[in-house]
Amino acid sequence: MTLEKSEILYRGWHIEPFAIPGGDGTWQGTCEIRKLDGTSSDSALAVLGSVVRKTKKDAISDICEQARHVIDSSCAFPYVTEESFREIKDMQEN
């Protein structure tokens, strides 16, 4: 199995989505969200859950849209703690 990863820059954050084929012809998309931390290495904000879609393109597109919402929320609330991040993520999933 070949795993293709790409990186998207959004509002100073790196969205790293990828999709894995399912056994039933579906695709499971997930991603990491990272922000460059000055001169040090990247630090992960989150690894999002996953979405299951009929095509690879749809899986990547939908997980990236979720990532953009999480980034927008963290920009709206710049002092996000791990606990408040979980609350923001829960709000977005509902």
Euclidean distance between CA atoms 44 and 30, whole angstroms: 14
pTM across the whole model: 0.69
pLDDT, one tens digit per residue, over 26-45 is 999 998 888 766 444 546 66
pLDDT, one tens digit per residue, over 62-87 is 999 999 988 888 776 666 566 666 67
Classify residue 39 by burial, with Cβ atoms within 10 Å: 0-12, 13-18, 19+: exposed
Three-class SS of 12-60: CEEEEEEEEECCCCCEEEEEEEEECCCCCCCEEEEECCCEEECCHHHHH
